[in-house]
Structure 1
Amino acid sequence: MLNKVFNISHISAGFTAVLVGYTSSVVIIIQAATAAGATPAQIESWLWALGVAMGLSSLLFSWFYKRPVLTAWSTPGAAMLVAAVSQYDMPVIIGAFVISGVLIVLTGLITPLARLLERIPPYLGTAMLGAILLPFCLKAFQPLSSTPVVFLLMFGSYLVAKYFVPRYTMLILLLVGIACAVFGGSFSHAGVALNLAQPQWVTPRFDVLAMINLSLPLYVLTMLSQNLPGVAMMRSHGYEAPVKPLLIGTGVTNVLFAPFGGFSVNLAAISAAICMNDGVDADPKQRYRAVMWAGVFYLIAGVWATTVVALFLALPKNISQILAGLALLGTLLMCLQISFKEGKQQESALLTFLITLSGASFLGISATLWGLLVGMVYLKVTNK
């Protein structure tokens, strides 16, 4: 029995999945919270809420269904928030998170709503996502002019790690970034200590424009870039995904943890694959235990979020930019490949991409939604 519980391959797979998720995008979560006007204590609360919510949901789903159901935060959703939240105050932003969770619950309860979402052409969704991610990726190369040594060290480490140990690329990049920060004196006055995080409640306030410009894009991005790929990932490894219960469960989790900063809890896709392959366990029926260990590590990361936040806030802006941008390069490449693959869809995808990238709002509606709407209308008209 102990061999099953404390299986080394299960533990290492679970730890790696969490490590990949955190090192690749925690800096973007902190940027989103900072753009929302969060205090350091509230940033800690955001990461506490996300860690605890992902940990509990991963543990409970995997234990109940005996399948590897790993949850995660929405990195694309966080990237969207960085650009969109500054015009709203914190209670309104939290209210938008609650509405996004409610929409996910309704998607699980109302089958036609799920089918309607699935009818959004994937290349338009990825064009919208690509436009959101592009500015982050461009900023990764800006430090070349201001701090060339730091940039070349980090970019060179990224290329070498990508070639030799691709699974640990972001971990190596993070370690090199921290080493550069330490050498530059960034941690000399930083109070990085092992302290427990304290959740901070913010009472939600609901605003119609925030629902349109924050809730809807966050919901669409979460569904298109996380939940649907997460279901596909499970099925590709031979696991039948209980879609409705998972959507309802993650949506309810979003609603419950939103007042503490839990902006999105959804199915994982890329990191989930780490817990599903043959190397985890020869018996596919036992691989859910790796996700349960991932849930434990999520909980640990959430409880000690104070340390995580202090570490990343101490990093210089240029290093944070490099970390965030390089972490999103693979996702951006995937978005561009899907969006502009077929000739018939290229013009509608290009319109979605450019309008979203412009950041222009009209009638109180953000460029993110306008880009998707214009792309869909153009596609409908030109396909007649």
Structure 2
Amino acid sequence: MNNKYVSVSHITAGFSAVLIGYTSSIVIILQAVTAAGASAAQIESWLLALGLMMGFSSIGYSWYYKTPILTAWSTPGAAMLVGVAPQHDLPTLLGAFVVTGALIFITGLITPLSNALKRIPSPLATAMLAAILLPFCINAFEPIMSVSGVFLLLFTTYALSKRFAANYTMLMLLIVSLVAAFYLDNTLISNANLGIAAPIWLLPQFDLGAIINIAIPFYIVTMLSQNLSGIAMMQSYGYNTPVKPILVGTGIINILGAPFGGFSLNLAAISAAICMNEHVDNNKHNRYRAVIWAGVFYIVAGALASSVVAIFLAFPREITEMLAGFALLGTLLMCLQSAFSNEHYREGALLTFLVTLSGISFLGLNAIIWGLIIGWGYSFLVSRRV
């Protein structure tokens, strides 16, 4: 079973990458879609679109380049959407997604743009991202007041799995959460209706405020936290990354998928590593086959979105908040370490963090944009003074 594409190690790695990717952020995606005011049928369409976009792009890129190129949705981008989505209607959000896809497409075509993006100080970008993630992590601890038993159960599961099986922490949390949710509401499983999800097309609308406050920050978050880290991950395993074709292709797919709810398609980073290490295949040139299998599992998961949506929408709010918060703890820690490790940008990063966290809105710009402007401007002034 080690010949060609039918290899147990390839199938296992592909399935694990998709499983970990889904279990680590599916709750955050559902929170974002719900905050956008989508109906249950529209939520299914979002997950179907994402599954198909990730599946076919992963298969296509990996097969053509014979390189493990795994795509994913943007979890930090979804976390950002939870905060800003209620301020806009659904067609306006879809319009912002189209613009984000166009910006990624243009970045792939014009090299100076990608170089300019790299010039955004990393500490400021990660400080902005940390401020977006912090409320989720704080909310994870509030249920201790209302469902203390469930909280202690999930927190103990989190701590023990991080100690003994770190790669499967979110899977263990999801299993325990399902048991706890069923204990609190024994009709949970009966709410799951097995069926194939159907796409729902909605005409995007374009609004200048949404483009400035959603599309541009979403583009920055996606490029810095997903695409650049995904490229770095591939390079760390010795793979040459076809950067321009990936950006052009994912940009086009984002534009086409946005009317169906495909809000984000970018390179995977953490989950991609599962398909690149030596446990997948001793021959690094065969590891792309694991990503092809991951693409197949993406497509299956997207097609079965109706069952996923039914179960997760029936989850008690407290369990959903704990799952989302625990899923983002590691990312928050990484962002805080990166934001404040560089002494030159430390105060600017602090200002970016605080302004973004404040939630202010001024002159039509939201706190995310103001955080970057103030932090970057302060860092520039201080460096010029010195």
Q: Residues 188 and 98 from structure 1, CA distance in 2 versus in 1: closer, same or farther, beyond 3 angstroms? A: closer
Give 1:198's aligned residue.
198
Separation (CA, whole Å) in 2 of partners of 1:67 and 1:186: 45
Separation (CA, whole Å) in 1 of partners of 2:345 and 2:317: 38
The letter of the residue matching 2:138 is L
Give 1:64's aligned residue.
64
For residue 193 of structure 1, report the CA deviation from its aligned partner. 2.0
Q: Equivalent residue of 1:333, what SS?
A: helix
Give 1:39's aligned residue.
39
Gaps of 5+ in 2: none
The letter of the residue matching 2:71 is T
Give 2:97's aligned residue.
97
Give 1:324's aligned residue.
324
Separation (CA, whole Å) in 2 of partners of 1:120 and 1:262: 27
Give 2:341's aligned residue.
341
Q: Does structure 1 conserve the Cα–Cα contact (< 8 Å) formed by 2:105 and 2:249? A: yes
What fraction of aligned residue pairs are identical, expressed as a percent? 59
For residue 337 of structure 1, report the CA deviation from its aligned partner. 0.3
Q: Residues 173 and 189 from structure 1, CA distance in 2 versus in 1: closer, same or farther, beyond 3 angstroms? A: closer
Separation (CA, whole Å) in 2 of partners of 1:342 and 1:94: 37
TM alignment of 1:267-278, pairs within 5 A:
267-278=267-278
Gaps of 5+ in 1: none
Give 2:113's aligned residue.
113
Separation (CA, whole Å) in 1 of partners of 2:223 and 2:176: 34
| Residue-by-residue CA offset, 1:278-317 (whole Å, 9 max, x unaligned) | 0000000000000000000000000111011111111100
Q: Equivalent residue of 1:238, what SS?
A: coil
Give 1:124's aligned residue.
124
Give 2:227's aligned residue.
227
Separation (CA, whole Å) in 2 of partners of 1:168 and 1:282: 23
Separation (CA, whole Å) in 2 of partners of 1:382 and 1:216: 26
Q: Residues 3 and 180 from structure 1, CA distance in 2 versus in 1: closer, same or farther, beyond 3 angstroms? A: same
For residue 342 of structure 1, report the CA deviation from its aligned partner. 2.4
Separation (CA, whole Å) in 2 of partners of 1:56 and 1:365: 36
Separation (CA, whole Å) in 1 of partners of 2:338 and 2:108: 26
Separation (CA, whole Å) in 1 of partners of 2:16 and 2:189: 31
For residue 4 of structure 1, report the CA deviation from its aligned partner. 2.0
Q: Does structure 1 conserve the Cα–Cα contact (< 8 Å) formed by 2:355 and 2:370? A: yes
Give 1:73's aligned residue.
73
For residue 373 of structure 1, report the CA deviation from its aligned partner. 1.1
Alpha-carbon RMSD: 1.0
For residue 187 of structure 1, report the CA deviation from its aligned partner. 2.9
Answer with 142-151 or 181-190: which moved more. Answer: 181-190
For residue 190 of structure 1, report the CA deviation from its aligned partner. 4.8
Separation (CA, whole Å) in 2 of partners of 1:189 and 1:56: 30
Q: Does structure 1 conserve the Cα–Cα contact (< 8 Å) formed by 2:276 and 2:287? A: yes
Q: Which TM-score applies when normalising by structure 1?
A: 0.99
Give 1:370's aligned residue.
370
Q: Does structure 2 conserve the Cα–Cα contact (< 8 Å) formed by 1:186 and 1:316? A: no
Q: Which TM-score applies when normalising by structure 2?
A: 0.98
Q: Does structure 1 conserve the Cα–Cα contact (< 8 Å) formed by 2:189 and 2:311? A: no
Separation (CA, whole Å) in 1 of partners of 2:6 and 2:193: 29
The letter of the residue matching 1:216 is I
Separation (CA, whole Å) in 2 of partners of 1:188 and 1:9: 34
Separation (CA, whole Å) in 2 of partners of 1:80 and 1:185: 30
Q: Equivalent residue of 1:3, what SS?
A: coil
For residue 343 of structure 1, report the CA deviation from its aligned partner. 2.1
Answering whether residue 285 of structure 2 is matched by residue 266 of structure 1, we say no
Q: Equivalent residue of 1:279, what SS?
A: coil
Separation (CA, whole Å) in 1 of partners of 2:244 and 2:189: 49
For residue 99 of structure 1, report the CA deviation from its aligned partner. 0.3
| Number of aligned residue pairs | 384
Give 1:283's aligned residue.
283
The letter of the residue matching 2:258 is A
Q: Does structure 1 conserve the Cα–Cα contact (< 8 Å) formed by 2:2 and 2:8? A: no
Give 1:167's aligned residue.
167
Separation (CA, whole Å) in 2 of partners of 1:368 and 1:188: 37
Q: Does structure 1 conserve the Cα–Cα contact (< 8 Å) formed by 2:181 and 2:188? A: no
Answer with 336-345 or 101-110: which moved more. Answer: 336-345
